Structure 1
Amino acid sequence: MGTAISLDLADDLPPERLDQLAEQVFGWMREVDQRFSTFKADSEVSRFDRGEVVLSDASADLRATLERCADLWGDTDGFFDAYATGRFDPSGYVKGWSAQVASDRLVAAGAPNHCVNAGGDVRVRGLSSSGEPWRVGVQDPWDPSRVALVVHGTDLAVATSGVYERGHHVIDPRRGTPARGLRSVTVVGTDLGTADAYATAALAMGQAGVSWLGRLSGYEWAVVTDDRRTPRSDRLPITD
């Protein structure tokens, strides 16, 4: 997926069990990358985009992703658009979704205290190894050596979409041009795939994304605008 994956397992389990759980997580992420990477010509999503895989022959994961992307398109007034670049690219959902699935599997496997970080899309459960709630830093989009804010909690999905690493790569699907107005958008909730898509959609909206985020139910948010304003929701779980 063109990003780094990190894992922090905080449960007091035998080392061999922790190794096994870690390998299962990274194995899953490699599977997702092989299936959904838009950088690999032989991935299922690339072959689907070229018409070499028909929907009836697609994997269950790809079919579910297509359905979820269609739902998110409706939920975001069309601003989350997996076809915005002119080809099928569900990356704005898949990265968060894959980390969410990894986290859900860890809970089911008896490891409820963990942090899965997929290139800045973070799913935390339970407590850290210090016995305290997790603290998730969100990068300052103007200064990579600083954090803009720190989110904390025991059951959080934290997704950030921004232009400070890859430039203006998110397309405004209505204009067909790179979105401008917002430098970064962070969305916090309980489902990382949804939070990831919402952050992408709000970034695509530009300045209008702030008012749209304010109407969301069940998700908190923070924004840094191109003119350095920092609006955020009142119930965002942040700490000093």
Structure 2
Amino acid sequence: MTVRRSLPRRRLLLGAAGALACASLGTGAFRPLAGAQGLAVRTRAGLALGTTVSLTVAGPEAGAVEAALTEAFGAIRAVEAAASLFRANSALARLNRAGVLERPDPLLLAPLRYALDLAAASGGAFDPTVQPLWTLWAEAAARGERPGAAALREAVARVGWDRVSASEEAIRLKPGTALTLNGVVQGFAADRVMAVLEARGIRDAFVDTGEFGARGAHPDGTPWRLGLADPREPARIAAVIEPFAGFASTSGDYATSFSADHSDHHIFDPATGRSPRGLASVTVTAPSGLAADGLSTAAMVLGEAAGRDLVGRHPGCAVRFVAKA
């Protein structure tokens, strides 16, 4: 068995003039464009939430832009400390170990409540309790195997969003249950970053927390554009969202694959414990990062017809599908 991993949900951002506007280019490509608009522009990048993150911000005063970036990265770190499984000491990781967490951090409770609501709305297609399936598949893949039928049945028996209770007083898990918020946490972080930038008076920004958000315009004054990867050639841009504002998320079978043909990957159908087979990727645009992130995963599991229906019930959201074929 071949396990293929790449940074989750990476896409390319296209500048309005067609030049790549990735963090790897630094701020040099932006500064002449921004200067013509009387703006100071900064890009800051780092590692967080299990991926690379980068924020590009423009404003009339360089000091204010730097302060906004610092506070925005602080917001990402706060989300990590509460709700990321990539930090062994996060509140979520402690909850999984203990089965209960008293007085949970609001930054854990908010995305968890959204995840549970989406689980109900999707008929369980989205489920934050699939962590036992991830553990099972990852351990089997490390041995060059697929999970056996008995082990898969045992893991599925521990999955179910109704095995979680969540309130301001405590989050409680039934024995054997474990949570992952990887299907919403990057989008939630994008929301938190955008809230910081808005509060700081930043009008023009592009946010990449593993999911994407944009407000205002590119430093040359034209709208932002977002390039979407071809799931079979992720370095190639297959489509462009133009103009791009709000938030976008892609779920795909190519981010972490447990098989060379992408039939087994990191997105699981909670009812079967196996990966959905119909789609290669789903991209959702939405008014919030939480909605874009969660709905793209749910639609990947549901398939095109039911996924389109689910997304259509959420105002301001749109969806694009790429079939396996």
Structure of greater Rg: 2
Gaps of 5+ in 1: 228-240
* One-letter identity of the residue aligned with 2:227: G
Where relative contact order (Cα < 8 A, 6+ residues apart) is larger, the structure is 2
Number of residues of Structure 1 aligned to a counterpart in Structure 2: 224
Structure 1 counterpart of 2:182: 91
Q: Could you tell me which residue of structure 2 aligns to residue 189 of structure 1?
A: 286
CA distance in 2, matches of 1:85, 1:195: 21
The Cα shift of 1:211 comes to 4.4
Per-residue CA distance 1:13-65 (angstroms, 9 max, x = gap): 222221111111112112222222213321110101122652x3211222222
Find runs of 4+ consecutive structure 1 residues off by over 3 angstroms.
206-217
**Letter in structure 1 aligned against 2:268:** I
Q: Does 2:210 match 1:113?
A: no
Q: CA deviation at 1:210?
A: 4.7
Q: RMSD of aligned C-alpha atoms?
A: 1.8
> Partner letter of residue 80 of structure 2?
D
Q: Which amino acid aligns with 1:71?
A: D
Residues 221, 154 of structure 1: alpha-carbon distance in 2 compared, 3 angstrom cutoff: closer
2:311 is the alignment partner of 1:219: no
Tell me which of 118, 125, 131 is aligned to 1:72: 118
Of all paired residues, the percent bearing the same amino acid is 32
TM-score in terms of structure 1 length: 0.86
Cα distance 1:52–1:215, how it changes in 2: closer, same or farther (>3 A)?
Answer: closer
Residues 213, 112 of structure 1: alpha-carbon distance in 2 compared, 3 angstrom cutoff: same
Q: CA deviation at 1:10?
A: 2.5
- Residues 154/108 of structure 1: CA separation in 2 closer, same or farther (3 Å cut): farther
The answer as to whether partners of 1:10 and 1:127 remain within 8 angstroms in 2 is no
* Secondary structure of the corresponding residue to residue 51 of structure 2: coil
Aligned to 1:155, which of 242, 245, 255?
A: 245
Deviates more, 1:137-146 or 1:150-159: 150-159
Structure 2 residue runs without a partner (length 5+): 1-48, 133-177, 258-264
Q: Are 2:192 and 1:145 aligned?
A: no
Structure 2 length-normalised TM: 0.65
- Paired residues of 1:93 and 1:197 also in contact (CA < 8 A): yes
Secondary structure in structure 1 of the residue aligned to 2:251: strand
The alpha-carbon distance between structure 1 residues 114 and 214, as it changes in their structure 2 partners (threshold 3 A), is closer
Residue 44 of structure 1 contacts residue 53 of structure 1 at CA under 8 Å; is this kept in 2? no
Query: Secondary structure of the residue that 1:115 maps to in structure 2?
Result: strand
Equivalent residue of 1:50, what SS? helix
* Amino acid aligned to 1:97: F
